[in-house]
A and B are shown apart, each in its own frame.
Chain A
Amino acid sequence: MALGRPIGILLAKELRTEFRTRELLVSTLVFVLIVLVLFSFTFDPTTAESRRFGPGLLWLALLFAGSLMLHPSFTREQSNDTLVALRLAPIEPVSIVAAKILANFCFLLVAELVLLPVFAALYNLRLLPVLGRLVAVLVLGTLALSIVGTVFAAISSQARMRELLLPLLLLPLLTPALVASVEATAGLFEDRPALPAVWVGVLAAFDTIFLTVTWLFGEYLLEE
């Protein structure tokens, strides 16, 4: 069965639901801003120090934001049992997961693009010369976060203590993605900016592997 059309329709539905309230987007933005400001107290934010710590704190803030904000993507469906309705539709169950992954990817990416100039201004980093490559890293890293984050949101929504459980499950699993994103971003803020191919490769491998695993096993999470 074709996956494209159902995914498109479901993605439109996810985006519509989100943009009616914009709660996910706004809370992600505010949360990352708070973390970025708080981080500035933990070290001396001069240009040299910021170059060393900046990429790490940007990605940690995004990861924390993701582990808190991705949680409603399945619990939102639970209040009115709308997941049952989605599952009744004559579509591949995995397209429901795929649409949610894409939707979360869009939300996070929009939030990141808004935050990026603020981050650069706060920590005195020069964005413009490396903007294209930085966006490429953001796309790969955010994809990793949204794939695993969405699947684990489906997992934690079925358990007790779900708000606490999602970060616990998500953060250790994202270690390789964090290391790769931070290293790739750090390469862009050096004196002679270069995109480290190894880390882009690790990120691409991470995305490919977990997209495949989700495609193979994701639908089991939607059963009742």
Chain B
Amino acid sequence: MASAAHAMETKKTGTQGLATLGVALLLAVAGYSALFVAPTEATMGLIQRIFYFHVPFGWSAFVAFFISFLCSIGYLRSRAPKWDWLAVSSAEVGVPFVTVLLITGPIWAHPVWGIWWTWDARLTSTFVLWVLYVCYLLLRTLIDEPERRAVVSAVFGIFAAFDVPLVYFSIWFFRTQHPQPVIGAGGSLDPRMRDVLLLCWAATLGLLALLLRQRYRLEALRYEVECLRLESDRRGPGPQGFATVSNPGRSG
């Protein structure tokens, strides 16, 4: 029994290692193609290559938040903790992805637009999106009881998800300066550029999946520890005089 579990764990670690290696390779190939394979853009020059990281990280972040939204609904409907784990994992992976988006954007904008930041629809709504999900993660740290935390943050996650299109729409009416979407909206993009862009997107999606899986397993373990701790708190001091396990990091 123990050896079977051990073998399974070894196999899991093996798959995990392979997946990590695969994603690392994919990222390397994507990075190489973005820097050397894709043609240099005619007016912006080399700085335009940041687009191959900027756009895929943005798309992948939206995928992550959409997963988080679906899982929040899934949690409220089913009450299975795994939905909550996936919801928080994807939000927590989505936030650094949007951070990459918000950092690479100004790096590109400074030489091209001459300014680091402008209060345009896409920029502002991405910023609000980032703030919303940072608040979601903050909210989770402020509720100790696992089930309460799951329910409350699921409701907040759903509100945040419905807010995002409204934010975008209202600021779009307000003012816009960002370049229009290059795929699917009638924009013209060199086929080689498009291929590299899609390759980069595949790489960031791979990264997303990898981080999501790790974070999900961490959340599952954390949940287990929390349940054990709550149980031991309820039971009080044990027969051998063991003190209740306290949690210094989360007092108050």
**Which segment of B52-60, B95-103, B138-146, B222-230 sits at the interface?**
B138-146
Task: Give B126-151 as 1s and 0s: 1 = Cβ < 8 Å from A's Cβ atoms.
Answer: 00100110010011001110001001
Choose among B131, B148, B159, B252 the residue with the greatest number of A CB atoms under 10 Å from its CB. B159
* Docked-complex contact B152 and A202, CB < 8 angstroms: no
Contact at A175–B152, with CB atoms within 8 Å?
no
Contacts of A180 in B (CB 8 A): 170
B169 lies within 8 A of chain A by Cβ? yes
A30 near B: Cβ within 8 Å? no
Whether a CB of chain B sits under 8 angstroms from the CB of A148 is yes
Instruction: Flag if A172 contacts B135 (CB, 8 Å).
Output: yes
With a CB–CB cut-off of 8 A, which chain A residues contact B143?
Answer: 158-160
Minimal beta-carbon separation of A82 from chain B (angstroms): 19
Quick check: A179 and B138 within 8 Å, CB to CB? Answer: no
Tell me the smallest distance from the CB of A60 to a CB of chain B, in Å: 16
Instruction: Flag whether B193 is at the interface (Cβ < 8 A).
Output: no
A215 CB–B CB distance under 8 Å? no
Q: Does B66 reach chain A (CB closer than 8 Å)?
A: no
Chain B residue at minimal CB-CB distance from A178: B170
Distance A213 CA – B162 CA, assembled complex (angstroms): 8
Q: Please name all residues of chain B whose beta carbon is closer than 8 Å to the beta carbon of A148 when the two chains form the complex.
A: 159
Closest chain B residue, CB of each to CB of A183: B174
Contact A160 B142 (CB under 8 A): yes
Q: Which of A173, A198, A202, A205 contacts B160 (CB 8 A)?
A: A173
Q: In the complex, what residues of B have CB within 8 A of residue A199's CB?
A: 173
A210 touching B159, Cβ below 8 Å: yes
Q: Does B158 touch A at the CB level, under 8 Å?
A: yes
Whether B132 and A220, one on each chain, are in contact in the complex, defined by CB atoms closer than 8 angstroms, is no
In the complex, B171 has a CB within 8 A of chain A: yes
Interface size class of A (residues with CB under 8 A): 20 to 34
- Partner of A151 from B154, B155, B173 at Cβ < 8 Å: B155
Contact A220 B76 (CB under 8 A): yes
| Contact call B159/A151, Cβ cutoff below 8 A | yes
Q: How many A-B residue pairs have CB under 8 A?
A: 81
B62 within 8 A of A: no
B163 at the interface (CB under 8 A from A): yes
User: From residue A175, how far is it (CB to closest CB) to chain B in Å?
Assistant: 5
Which of A172, A205, A209 contacts B131 (CB under 8 A)? Answer: A172
Closest CB in chain A relative to B124 CB, distance in Å: 8
B152 touches A168 (CB 8 A): no
The residues of A that contact B154 with a CB separation of less than 8 Å are 217, 220
CB-based contact B166/A155 at 8 Å: no
Determine which of B135, B144, B151, B252 lies in contact with A169 in the assembled complex, contact meaning CB atoms within 8 Å. Answer: B135
| A209 contacts B174, C-beta separation under 8 Å | no
- 22 residue pairs from A and B, CB less than 8 Å apart: A148-B159, A151-B155, A155-B139, A155-B156, A158-B152, A159-B142, A159-B143, A160-B252, A165-B138, A168-B135, A169-B139, A173-B132, A176-B170, A176-B171, A179-B171, A179-B174, A183-B174, A199-B173, A202-B170, A217-B158, A220-B151, A221-B151
- Measured CB to CB, the residues of A under 8 A from B are 148, 151-152, 155, 158-161, 165, 168-169, 172-173, 175-176, 179-180, 183, 198-199, 202, 205-206, 209-210, 213, 217-218, 220-221, 223
Using A175-B170, A220-B151 as known contacts, list a sample of 6 further A-B pairs with CB atoms less than 8 Å apart, ordered by residue number in A.
A165-B138, A172-B132, A175-B163, A176-B170, A202-B169, A206-B166
